[in-house]
Amino acid sequence: MTLKLIQVGLGMHGFGVALHFVKASEDFRYAGVAEINPDRLKNCAAELGVPEENCFTDYKEAFAALEADAVFVTAASPYHYEICKAALEQGLHVLVEKPFVLDIGEACELVGLAKQKGLILMVSQNYRYQNHVLSLKNAIGEVGQPLFVQAQFFYDHFGKDYQQVMDNFMLLEMAVHHVDMIRYLFESNIKSVSGKTWNIEGSMYKGHPNVQASMELDNGMPVFYLGSLVSKGLSSPWEGEWRIQCQEGSIHLGDLGQGYGVYIVDAQQNKRFISYENGPLPDSKQGIHSVLAEFAARIQDGGEPALSGRDNLHTLAALIAFSDSAKTGSVSYPATYIK
Ligand SMILES: NC(=O)c1ccc[n+]([C@@H]2O[C@H](COP(=O)([O-])OP(=O)(O)OC[C@H]3O[C@@H](n4cnc5c(N)ncnc54)[C@H](O)[C@@H]3O)[C@@H](O)[C@H]2O)c1
Q: Are 195 and 321 in contact (CB under 8 A)?
A: yes
Is the whole-model pTM more than 0.85? yes
Q: At what angle do helices 104-117 and 80-89 cross, to 10 degrees?
A: 10
Measured by CA distance, the residue closest to atom 38 of ligand 1 is 11
- Which of 97, 133, 160, 315 has most ligand 1 atoms within 8 Å of CB, for mutation? 97
End-to-end CA distance of the chain: 36
Domain that holds residue 194: 128-282+317-328
Q: Is 312 a member of any domain? A: no
Based on the fold, state whether residues 170 and 41 are members of the same structural domain: no
Q: Give the distance (Å) from ligand 1 centre to CA of residue 260.
A: 28
Q: Give the distance (Å) from ligand 1 centre to CA of residue 12.
A: 7
Q: Is 311 a member of any domain? A: no
Based on the fold, state whether residues 46 and 133 are members of the same structural domain: no
Based on the fold, state whether residues 88 and 176 are members of the same structural domain: no
pLDDT computed for residue 275 by the predictor: 86
Look at the chain and report how many structural domains it folds into.
2
pLDDT computed for residue 171 by the predictor: 97
Q: How many CA atoms lie within 13 A of 18 on its CB side?
A: 31
Based on the fold, state whether residues 133 and 227 are members of the same structural domain: yes
Q: Give the distance (Å) from ligand 1 centre to CA of residue 286.
A: 20
Q: Give the distance (Å) from ligand 1 centre to CA of residue 8.
A: 9
Q: What is the DSSP letter of 305?
A: P
Q: Is 113 a member of any domain? A: yes
Based on the fold, state whether residues 298 and 251 are members of the same structural domain: no
Q: Is 61 a member of any domain? A: yes
Q: Is 338 a member of any domain? A: no
CATH number of the domain encompassing residue 79: 3.40.50.720
Based on the fold, state whether residues 267 and 173 are members of the same structural domain: yes
pLDDT computed for residue 152 by the predictor: 98
* Alpha-carbon gap, residue 311 to 277, rounded angstroms: 31
Based on the fold, state whether residues 276 and 184 are members of the same structural domain: yes
* Alpha-carbon gap, residue 81 to 83, rounded angstroms: 6
E strands, the chain, are: 3-8, 28-34, 55-56, 70-73, 93-97, 121-124, 146-154, 190-198, 210-217, 222-228, 241-246, 249-255, 260-266, 271-274
* Alpha-carbon gap, residue 127 to 181, rounded angstroms: 7
Q: Are 171 and 323 in contact (CB under 8 A)?
A: yes
Name every protein residue with a CB atom under 6 angstroms from any ligand 1 atom: 8-14, 34-37, 40, 59, 74-77, 79, 97-98, 124, 126, 160, 162, 173
Based on the fold, state whether residues 132 and 244 are members of the same structural domain: yes
pLDDT along the chain (339 residues), means of 10: 97 98 98 98 98 98 98 98 98 98 98 98 98 97 98 97 96 98 98 96 96 97 98 98 98 97 98 89 96 98 98 98 97 97
Based on the fold, state whether residues 260 and 300 are members of the same structural domain: no
Based on the fold, state whether residues 147 and 262 are members of the same structural domain: yes
Based on the fold, state whether residues 193 and 159 are members of the same structural domain: yes
Q: Is 336 a member of any domain? A: no
Q: Is 337 a member of any domain? A: no
CA dihedral 183, 131, 84, 65 (to 10 degrees): -160
- Which of 15, 19, 22, 36 has most ligand 1 atoms within 8 Å of CB, for mutation? 36
Based on the fold, state whether residues 136 and 184 are members of the same structural domain: yes
Q: Is 333 a member of any domain? A: no
CATH number of the domain encompassing residue 198: 3.30.360.10
